[in-house]
């Protein structure tokens, strides 16, 4: 079903300015642009993600660099911004360091060096003094000291701060994806976009695209990695439209699967009329989750993964980068529609303040 609020930006004429920190392949930038923002600058350290960003956002000035080496004062001068002129500073610091899976659901302390990158939001905010700040990350971050320190620091420099955990499936994204979103403002009231009871499904997102291998889209036609005969037979026999390996007799299951009661989505099919599971960096591999096509005996393609993440079919991912690199970018990206809906309310608040 197509939601009534999708892509609507009625009554919003002026283009406010935004900067995207930790831009990745450009999901956040795309959502901001769809909401009517002009994304004038972005920072991304990874060369592969930066290449993809440039392919899709040619009018944004991109710094391909470690964010800690970028001077916000120099960025402000290059972008010809006055202090306080920037409307929105947005970013998603690398979240792998706060993943509950990586820390065995919090049982182990995670010393990932990327954890400290959250503080970069404050470093840039102190110099640029944006009217609004938006940060998105994994829910687990909310209970961690780097996030608590971020909130304290933003309040010290004059910002109101609100945050909440939201499920992207309630915001026009055909995928279960719970995310922490922080909004901060100097002058305006902070309002999160309203949730919707209706949702988009796997069928809505990928039900009408041509068959993989048709030659219409190189991203859709990337071949799967070779599998053993036993695995191919296992995939073939998993029931269509939402079936699981657990639907098979025990003797048909792999030895490693019979020894565990967890990870039930492994070698599972998506269901046509439900939202997809969270699209991760392993979405090309059915041994990493419920990533089998609802009907065909294969994993979802990279184009299907991108559509389920909320990217339009025209979004460019260079197939020469390889499936693993592309899956990493898609899995780490922010769903553009989720960002768009919150950004529209920020834009409205900016207009009321003018």
Rounded to the nearest angstrom, the gap between the alpha carbon of residue 144 and the centroid of all alpha carbons in its chain is 21
What CA–CA distance (Å, rounded) separates 268 from 242?
Answer: 7
User: What tokens were used for 171?
Assistant: 């915001």
∠ CA 15-19-25 to the nearest 5 degrees?
110
Give the C-alpha distances (Å, rounded to integers) separating 139 from 108, 133, 178, 181, 289. 17, 18, 7, 8, 20
Consecutive H or E run containing 17: strand 17-21
Q: What is the DSSP string of 170-206?
A: GGT-SB--EEEEEEEESSS---PPPP-S----HHHHH
First to last CA, the chain: 36
Catalytic residue from among 25, 95, 151, 283: 95
Show the DSSP H helices in 143-273 as ranges: 145-156, 202-206, 229-237, 255-258
Which residues lie across from 135 on neighbouring strands?
91, 182
Instruction: For residues 82 and 70, give the distance between their C-alpha atoms in angstroms, rounded to a whole number.
Output: 18
Closest CA to 308 of 199, 182, 224: 199
Which residues touch 221 (CB under 8 Å, ≥6 apart)?
Answer: 212, 213, 214, 215, 301
- CA–CA separation, 142 vs 150, rounded Å? 10
Annotation marks residue 151 as catalytic: no
CA–CA separation, 164 and 191 (whole Å): 11
Select from 55, 75, 73, 52 the least CA-distant residue to 63.
75
Q: Which residues are tagged catalytic? A: 95
């Amino acid at each position: 079903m197509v939601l009534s609020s999708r892509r609507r930006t009625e009554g919003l004429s002026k283009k406010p300015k935004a900067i995207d920190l930790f831009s990745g392949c450009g999901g956040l930038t795309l959502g901001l642009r769809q909401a009517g923002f002009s994304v004038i600058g972005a920072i991304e350290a990874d060369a592969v993600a930066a290449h993809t960003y440039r392919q899709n956002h040619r009018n944004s000035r991109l710094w391909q660099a470690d964010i800690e080496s970028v001077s916000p004062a120099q960025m402000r001068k290059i972008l010809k911004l006055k202090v306080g002129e920037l409307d929105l500073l947005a970013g998603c610091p690398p979240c792998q360091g706060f993943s509950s899976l990586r820390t065995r659901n919090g049982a182990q302390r995670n010393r990932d060096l990327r954890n400290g990158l959250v503080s970069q939001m404050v470093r840039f905010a102190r110099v640029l003094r944006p009217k609004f700040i938006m940060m998105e990350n994994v829910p687990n971050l909310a209970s961690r000291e780097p996030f608590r320190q971020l909130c304290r620091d933003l309040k010290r420099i004059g910002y109101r701060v609100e945050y909440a955990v939201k499920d992207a499936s309630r915001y026009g994204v055909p995928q279960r994806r719970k995310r922490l979103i922080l909004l901060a403002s100097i002058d305006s009231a902070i309002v999160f976009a309203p949730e919707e009871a209706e949702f988009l499904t796997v069928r809505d997102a990928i039900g009408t695209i041509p068959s993989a291998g048709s030659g219409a889209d190189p991203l859709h036609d990337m071949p799967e990695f070779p599998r053993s005969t036993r695995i191919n037979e296992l995939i073939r026999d998993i029931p269509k439209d939402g079936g699981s390996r657990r639907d098979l007799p025990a003797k048909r299951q792999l030895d490693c699967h019979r020894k565990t009661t967890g990870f039930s989505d492994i070698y599972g099919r998506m269901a046509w009329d439900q939202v997809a599971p969270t699209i991760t960096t392993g979405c090309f591999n059915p041994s990493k989750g419920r990533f089998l096509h609802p009907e065909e005996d294969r994993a979802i393609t990279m184009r299907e993964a991108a559509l389920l993440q909320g990217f339009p079919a025209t979004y460019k991912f260079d197939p020469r980068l390889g499936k693993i690199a592309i899956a990493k970018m898609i899995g780490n990206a922010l769903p553009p529609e989720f960002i768009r809906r919150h950004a529209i309310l920020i834009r409205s608040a900016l207009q009321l303040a003018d």
